Amino acid sequence: MNSDRVKTLALDFGFASVGIGPSVPKRPEAHHAWIEAGCHGEMAWMESHRDVAADPDLVLPGAVRAICVLDRYPGSGPEEVPPRFGRIARYARGKDYHVHTLKRLQRFGEQLSSDFPDGAFRACVDTVPLLERDLASSAGLGRIGKHTLLIEPAKGSWAVLGVLLTTVPFEMDAPLDEDPCGTCSRCIEACPTDAIEPWKVDARLCISYLTLEHRSAIPAKLHEGLGDWLAGCDICQEVCPHNQPTAARAKTSHAEALKPDRQGFDLLEVLGWSEDDRRAAFQGSALKRVKYEALRRNALILLTNQVCQGDQEAKTVLLAQLELIEQSTTVSEVLRETVRVCRLRIQ
């Protein structure tokens, strides 16, 4: 079935790019092997829903196509940050894309349902465990890099994805099969926790996973690697040649809702937050799912990193924070273990 209407409508809804491909991912066995190796860490939902990732029929019965869209957000190279400051990943510096992108994708699907009443459509933006990057690659939106992110030709990888599954057999786009990386290994070399192998990321070592999804104490050997990342990490994207400044990239449009409100947060401010403060700070943000205890854990590690780099002013404040936590009778074991490791590091 001709796909012109789909393409025109997607652009009308403000998506930066759209492609149509098969609903079944190319390599579900690689995802299964990744889970079998334990690389998903504490994200148990990935293991319990891995059959869904491989079989779109479990998400939308009769699905035969994946209409893939993307919204771009601003990116850049490595940044300068103030003392005692924690950065957040760039995708989370604006409004929550789970809400912004999903709502538009749902309206897009509703319009297509009106245009193609015999078909069914389901919008997915991290709401079900689809292999979105795999599907987007098959739909011709870009190519998967060694850091496992989708690289859009001439635009780079600063983008979030959405998938509209459908039972309508629209004409498909040709995938871009060529390797986007060649001999380049900058992302692998730049990762401070050695989380990346070619086309594979071990979540258990990944700063994004550790700061956002990991609920337990972060292993001591990984503390230094967190650097100044409070929530998320962009290092592999910062160093990627496909993301370096060019005249064409300077003209790239970005979703208005994803333009940054702030670079991050003062670590001392975070350590002084209450749960209500956390909620207020992350209202409307993709980071609202990050738990209060996890943020305090991350802030202690980052402040310790700065002390280890010679910030004596930070040391005074850090010691006071460590003592407060040690004296508390209600603090979690995760924070107690974090305090123990931080004390060992600054002795």
| Same domain for 339 and 219 | yes
> Do 340 and 192 have their domain in common?
yes
| pTM for the model | 0.95
Q: What is the DSSP string of 122-164?
A: EEESSSS---HHHHHHHTTS-EE-TTS-EEBTTTBS-EEEEEE
Mean pLDDT of the chain: 95
3-state secondary structure of 266: strand
pLDDT score at 96: 96
Tell me what the mean pLDDT of segment 17-36 comes to.
94
* Residues 197 and 323 both lie in one domain: yes
The pLDDT score that the predictor gives to residue 247 is 75
Residue 117 lies in a domain: yes
pLDDT of 347 reads 84
In a domain? residue 195: yes
Can you give the residue range of the structural domain that contains 199? 186-346
**110 and 57 in a common domain:** yes
Three-class SS state of 17: strand
Active site residue 126: yes
What local confidence, expressed as pLDDT, does residue 294 receive? 96
Integer Cα distance of 302 and 219 in angstroms: 14
Residues 236 and 306 reside in one and the same domain = yes
Neighbours of 336 (CB within 10 A): 13
Q: Is the pLDDT at 61 greater than 90, yes or no?
A: yes
Q: Is the pLDDT of residue 248 over 80?
A: no
Angle between helices 97-115 and 4-12 (to 10 degrees): 140
Q: What is the pLDDT of residue 4?
A: 93
Helix (H) or strand (E) segment spanning residue 50: helix 50-54
Residue 127 has pLDDT above 80, yes or no: no
In a domain, 15, yes or no: yes
Strands 143-144 and 229-231: unpaired
Query: Which of these is catalytic: 55, 57, 126, 311?
Result: 126
User: Tell me, what's the pLDDT at 313?
Assistant: 87
- Cβ neighbors of 334 (< 8 A, separation 6 or more) are 215, 216, 217, 293, 297
Residue in the block written with tokens 């104490």: 217
- Total number of domains in the chain: 2
